[in-house]
Amino acid sequence: MSGRRHGLKNRFDRAASTSSENGDPPGSGAVADHVRDLLDKLQSDVPPEQIQRVLAAFLCGSKAHAGQTRLSGEPYITHPVAVASILADFHMDGDTIVAAILHDVLEDTDCTSDELEREFGPVVTKLVEGVTKLDQVRFASRQEANAESFRKMLLAMASDLRVILIKLADRLHNMRTLAAKDHASTRRIAMETLEIYAPIAQRLGMNLVKAELQDIGLRVLYPSRYRVIASCIRGVMGSRREAMRKIESAILQRLGDEGIPARIVSRIKSPWSIYVKMKTQHKSFKEVMDLFGFRIVTDTVPHCYQALGAVHALFKPMDGRFRDFIAIPKANGYQSLHTVLFGSFGAPIEIQIRTEEMDRVAERGIAAHWVYKTDGSQPNSAQARAHEWISGLASREATTDSAIEFIENVKVDLFPDEVYVFTPRGDILALPRNSTALDFAYAVHTDVGAHAVTARVDGQISSLRTCLQSGQNVEIVTAPSAQPKPEWLGFVVSGKARTAIRNYLKRLQHEDAVQFGHRMLDRELIIRSVSLDTIPTDALEGYLEEHHYQRLEALLADIALGQRMPGPVADHFAQLAGISAPGSVSPVSRETIAITGAERGVISFANCCLPVPGDTIFGYLSAGKGIVVHRLECPNAEELQRESERCLAIEWDRKVEGDYKVKLRIDVLNRPGVLATVAAALAETGTNIENVEYIERDFTASTLMFTIEVQNRIHLARVMRRVRHSAVVNAIHRDPF
């Protein structure tokens, strides 16, 4: 070590040794130990001038946190120094190390952003501010996440990925020191870690961090299960250690004979991986076969493929267990060849083959070679993909009104099991598990998804809801007249597709709501001999401002969605126009509103009676839902019509669109094949069957309940007539009847 660095180290030691004089309790020698450990790690990566900034950050942080302790009794400064040390293990740059040491000063001390910027510059200050925002993130569970805080996390990550790296290091050290916390806190933190932070680490390719977070989380949440699995692993390792050494020796010998330079690292599945496999696949520990594996690390990509051939020649590969993540990297930038071989002791062995650079990326992800280094090198694949992912999330965040909806979409990205498919040009797209052809269309471009009508999968015409498999070639057929439909939300899985479809439907709903609200308000105004044109502009604007509406359209939309009743609004407008409103208006005297069924953003159809075109109907204004259409003979009609101000006189337009659900109660003979006979009769009428269930059954007869889709009452009558003529049918009724 140079004399200059000796001097820096001595200054660290002096600062650490005086921490107790600043109010820290006995035991501050731990500070010096943490500092020396950090300094040793920085020697090879950080130039002396940056080490001086790290020293200054330590002195600043030590002074700011003076008198503060952790629950363990250690001086608080030991925590940020330990966080910086974790990041030093990943060879992060000086700004990141400095920000890590100072990451709690804005929230927990009197230090201000201005003071930080004066001493350490704007980059460090922005990093500390970003981490401070993340420190306010609290997740009760994956289902009840604090969605607004998660948005803050996204924006902080989007501005500088180093923010989330500091937060992950902070979380890792907190997990390592959970023993000082009470039982409830440790379980909450462990659950939060497993459900949010470990998946983020995985999505960013930081497998070392992910694995340790998962391991500690399992140990805290399920200590008994962890002990059992760990004990089983030790037992299996003890009995097969010699066989593993022989296999490793044989692989090394074969690679040497082939002239392939390589090092081999033996590995065994982590307790978390084993636990998840046992839980999801309902297997016992003995049934988890691929416990053991080797990682072959070589110098070049051609040698990776040569090594693959060498090990396949040495041991028999298992059919269907080869994956090429070099040619098709995972979404987080991970690259490797995976194959499973039959080992000499009867158990399968997983082999991973990769280059040194791929190995660094696999373990450290976006931190493997930091993009902010000033050596002019390009970001690695993990960084490029992380930036692409974050940019995609940011664009979705900007177009998503609901924070809850946004985080629901993000969950798909955090828990991926990718499907890799090809575009007609040969490009590869990574999609979440269970993605459909429509997800693929939106992944290509939002406009392609919006105008999709069908797909060609491996040259065969397929529906948009077809689930895709890795390796398939997919082409989307579009039409200018096509547009997103509400039912699409029932089968797309990707966040991008769901966000785009919902945004379109919301826009459509707003347009429909404004138009329908206008018709409803006009109908009430006509009764009062008023029109919107007769209301003074100043008076109208005053009303809108008083009720917190920026535009008249927002009021009209609220009327259609049942948030405001059109009658009282019309009364108020009549007063603004200088006309006394009538005391009461009979619903019968109001003009009937015709509906086409295309106003699905404003109108819904009641499940209690399932109206179809041709039925006599009325509308009920339900707050937040808009107009719910009921049949006049609905079992709930009498009760609903007691609230006359919420009831609307509506009728079907001459031109009606769409398909409508109907329930049919069918009494049949209890014979083999009766269900197929009735279903075939329905199919002959071109009717789509949505659901079928047995609701009663005895030795001689059964009752079936079919939910079908029809266009109108004429179509329904034709369906019922055809089914009634089936030899196995005793009676058929529309439900409720």
Task: Please report the DSSP string for 354-417 in residue order.
Answer: EEHHHHHHHHHGGGSS-TT-SS-PPP-HHHHHHHHHHHHHHHHHHT-S-HHHHHHHHHHHHS--
What confidence score (pLDDT) does residue 616 get? 94
The answer to which of 52-61, 143-152, 247-256 has the lowest mean pLDDT is 143-152
Total Cβ atoms within 10 A of residue 545: 10
Give the DSSP letter of residue 489.
G
Supply 691's token pair: 């659901």
What does the alpha-carbon distance between residue 103 and residue 80 come to, in Å, rounded to a whole number?
A: 7
pTM of the predicted protein model: 0.56
**Average pLDDT of the segment spanning 549-553:** 88
Mean pLDDT of the chain: 80
Contact (CB, 8 A) for 198 and 178: no
Query: 61 with 79: CB under 8 angstroms?
Result: no
CB 410 within 8 A of CB 150: yes
Q: Are 599 and 485 in contact (CB under 8 A)?
A: no
Which stretch of 444-453, 549-558, 584-593, 671-680 has the lowest confidence by average pLDDT? 584-593
Among residues 166, 164, 162, the alpha carbon closest in space to that of 150 is found at 164
Note if 104 is an active site residue.
no
Instruction: Check: CB of residue 665 under 8 Å from CB of residue 705.
Output: yes
Give the pLDDT mean for 216-237.
Answer: 88
Q: Is 417 a catalytic residue?
A: no
Give the three-state DSSP class for 302.
Answer: helix
Q: Which amino acid type is present at position 564?
A: R
Find which of 115-119, 280-284, 514-518, 715-719 is predicted with most confidence, using mean pLDDT.
715-719
**Amino acid identity for residue 614 in this structure:** G
Q: Does 224-367 carry CATH code 3.30.460.10?
A: yes
Which among 395, 389, 352, 387 has a CA at the least distance from the CA of 370? 387
pLDDT score at 134: 53
Integer angstrom CA distances of residue 373 from 95, 96, 368: 10, 11, 11
- What is the 3-state secondary structure of 553-564? HHHHHHHHCCCC
C-alpha 484, offset from chain centre = 21
**Which residue, chain included where needed, has tokens 């007063």?**
575
Report the distance separating Cα 93 and Cα 156, nearest Å: 18
Identify the pLDDT of residue 485: 81
Please choose, from the candidates 510, 606, 609, the residue with its C-alpha nearest in 3D space to the C-alpha of residue 561. Answer: 510
d(CA 112, CA 125): 10
Q: For the purposes of burial, counting CB atoms within 10 Å of the CB of 301, is it exposed (0-12), middle (13-18) or buried (19 or more)?
A: middle
Find residue 602's DSSP bridge partners.
Answer: none
Q: What is the CATH number of domain 660-735?
A: 3.30.70.260
Question: Exposed, middle or buried by CB within 10 Å (0-12, 13-18, 19+), for 658?
Answer: middle
Integer Cα distance of 428 and 231 in angstroms: 42
The pair phi, psi for residue 324, each rounded to 5°, is: -105, 90
Q: How far is residue 615's CA from residue 633's CA, in Å, rounded to a whole number?
A: 9
Q: Which of 13, 37, 45, 108 is catalytic?
A: 108
Q: Which residues contact 15 (CB under 8 A, 6 or more apart)?
A: 35, 55, 58, 59, 62
Q: Which two tokens stand for residue 401?
A: 């009104």
Distance between CA atoms of residues 335 and 333, nearest Å = 6
Cβ atoms of 260 and 307 within 8 Å: the answer is yes
Residues 427 and 421: their CA atoms lie apart, in Å, by: 8
**605 alpha carbon, distance to own chain's centre:** 31
Say which residue, 222 or 18, is predicted with more confidence: 222
Taking the domains of the chain in order of start, what are their residue ranges? Answer: 3-223, 224-367, 502-652, 660-735
- The predicted pLDDT at position 391 comes to 62
Sign of the alpha-carbon torsion through 614, 617, 622, 626: positive
pLDDT tens-digit profile of 599-627? 766 888 898 999 999 999 999 988 767 88
pLDDT in tens, 48-105: 888 888 888 888 988 888 888 888 788 888 899 999 999 888 888 888 899 999 988 8
Q: Does the structure show a pLDDT above 70 at 450?
A: yes
Cβ atoms within 10 Å of 132's Cβ, excluding its own: 18
The DSSP H or E segment spanning 409 is helix 403-414
| DSSP of 439-468 | HHHHHH-HHHHHTEEEEEETTEEE-TTPBP
pLDDT, tens digit (0-9, with 9 covering 90-100), for 662-682: 999 999 998 888 888 998 898
Per-residue pLDDT reduced to its tens digit, 293-348: 899 999 999 999 999 999 998 888 888 788 888 888 877 778 899 998 887 666 78
> 139 phi and psi, to 5 degrees?
-115, 120
Distance of alpha carbon 665 from alpha carbon 345, whole angstroms: 61
Residue 380 contacts residue 392 (beta carbons within 8 Å): no
Q: What are the strands of the beta sheet with 460-462, ordered from one edge?
A: 460-462, 452-457, 474-478
Percent of the chain with pLDDT strictly greater than 90: 21
Q: What is the distance in angstroms between the CA of the first residue and the CA of the last residue of the chain?
A: 91
CATH number of the domain located at residue range(s) 3-223 in this protein: 1.10.3210.10
**Residue 520 — very low, low, confident or very high, per pLDDT cuts 50/70/90?**
confident
Q: Which of 107, 115, 117, 709 is catalytic?
A: 107
CB contact at 8 A, 491 and 520: no
Could you please report the per-residue DSSP string of 163-226?
A: HHHHHHHHHHHHHHTGGGS-HHHHHHHHHHIIIIIHHHHHHTT-HHHHHHHHHHHHHHH-HHHH
What is the total residue count of the chain?
737
Give 24's pLDDT tier (boundaries 50, 70, 90).
very low
CB 71 within 8 A of CB 114: no
Query: Is the distance from CB of 601 to CB of 510 less than 8 angstroms?
Result: yes
How far is Cα 434 from Cα 65, in angstroms, rounded to an integer? 50
Give the strand order in the sheet containing 729-735.
688-697, 701-710, 660-669, 729-735
482: helix, strand or coil = coil
- DSSP one-letter code for 378: P
pLDDT of residue 537: 86
161 is written with which tokens?
């990925």
